Structure formats: C-alpha cells, structure tokens
Amino acid sequence: MSLNDWMEYTVTEKDIGMSVEQIVRQKLSVSGRMLQRLTRSKGIMLNRKPPFLQRQVKPGDTVAIRVGEPPSEKLAATKQQLRHDTPREKGLEQTSSPEHATSQAHALPVAILYEDDHLLIASKPAGMMVHPVKEEQAGTLVDVLADLLAQRGESASVHPVHRLDKDTSGAILLAKNSYGHQLADRLLREGGIHREYVAVVDGQLAAESGTIAAPIGKDPNHPTRRRVADGGDAAVTHYEVMQRSPYMTMVRVWLETGRTHQIRVHFAHIGHPLAGDILYGGARGLLRRQALHAVSLTFNHPLTGEQIRCEAPMPADMRRLIQAEFSWHVL
C-alpha cells in the first residue's frame, strides 16, 4: 500500500487495553461516520492486515488508516476529471510530467495560502464557483485544485469545508482527502474556525459596532435569494466599522454561523445592503459584484494544535472601490 495514502500509529505501553477501534477513534481522530466508511472499504489495518475492530492491541502494533481515497473513488474522480475541460482551459498550464506541477503555481487562477498533507487554504477569485452544481460545469475551484493535486501524483479529490458565494472573493478552507474533511468539518461544527470578512455597505451605519441576530430562510419568490424569516435557521453576524464616507461604510465582519448569503441578507435586512449586490438591493457603482472579501481564516490545526492564520490579499476591484470611496490605500 502507498504510504502517502495511509496514516499509521504505533501502539505504546500507555495504550494497553485499548481496542483497534479505540485507537482509530481516539489516537487517529476518526469520526464515527468515517470509521464506517473505512470499515466498508477495508481502510483499517493492524500490522498490515485487516483486523477485528474489537481486538485489543499490544505495544509495538501498527494501526493504519487510509487517508487517501479508496481505489473505486479515485477511479470515479478520474473519470469525472476526464469529462471536464483541459487544465489549460481551467487556468493550469499543461505539462508533460507531474514533477513540473510545482513550478506551475504562478499559473493557478487561485493563490494557495496554506497547505499540508490533509488541508489547503486557497484565495478564491470573484466569479469562480467553489464546486460544480451540474455535471457538465468545469473551471470551479475544486476542479482547478484537483487538477493540481493530480498532476503532483496526489489524490484528485478535493472537499470544500465551507462555502463562498461565486462573486465573493477570499480565503476558503478545503480538505485534500476524506480524512482531512472529517477533521475540518468537526472543527467547523464546533466553532473552531474563525472567519473574517471585509465588506462595503451602502449608507452610514449608526453604530461603530454591532451584532445582527436574525433567522434566515429561503425566499419563496426567488430561486436563489434568502431572507430573514420566522422559522428560518438561526444566524448571527458581528461587525465593526473600519471607514466611513458620506455614502458608504466599510466594515470588518465575523460570523457565529455560516448560513447561505448570511452577510448579504443581514446587512440588507438592517437597510444597508452590500455595495454592488443587486440581488439584495445594493447600488451598482465601481464594483460589478457584492463588495465582500473573505480576508482571513484562523484555526488551531486539528492534528498538531498549531494555530493556522491566513490572510487573503484584497482583490483589485475591492481596492479600487475602497480607494475611491474612502481615500484609503489597501495593500
């Protein structure tokens, strides 16, 4: 088996009395759902052999879990990629061999802000979808990153941990395999990922800081729009004013929840839609999209405990708007 696709743990004296399942759950941080998937796909090994999960381990035993994709899922992912456009059409220069992929970072339409064996933080440009919603769609963030990983000889499976709207730019966390996805998804559900945004809203906000707590549900009169609605999902948005002009306010925003269009819906609800956001009543001006940029992601790594913080550079269209409206230079 390829060592790149497996994670191993060597049993110590302190682990005496534990079962294979307990080692997998407690020492290798595998969720119950992933444990079931690994069991079905023979993705758990004890000393390189499929084990009985309740078997007790002894010091020196090696327990391994598959962190790459099972062969059947790799094949499905490969077939999916073959149906998509070529790497050149999706922003990657074609190469004749995988070792050239690392020299192609400049050719990516996204910047990679952080990467390890399991997780990746990218800076998504505005106008790019995170993942396909129809089979024939290509050129999404997931497509581009899967191509890069495949050219390196890594698993071609990329899993978004959270979402950004198509026309929202900035930092987004993705997993490079199912193991990384379940680790990061647990972190997200437990509130361990801090996401900050910069937004420009129409009008003058009355307070220097505030919290918008209002439930969000689907708008029955529009296929994609959301609205504040009784019975919707709880949603909490915090903000702090950064700059003001006679006509607009720039704010730093951070979330307690991650509902679809949450920032856009909440500011429209209090009468200050995002600049450029015509779906929610924002005025079109210098920006041809909503003025929203995911500026940073911070979390403690689920395996090492190390604090990871990444900042996504402000894109050119947001910089132009901020400079013109607030006479404030953004790097």
The verdict on whether 165 is a catalytic residue reads: yes
**Phi, psi of 124, deg, nearest 5:** -80, 135
Residue among 5, 147, 165, 202 flagged as catalytic: 165
Residue type, 73: E
- Catalytic residue numbers, as ranges: 165
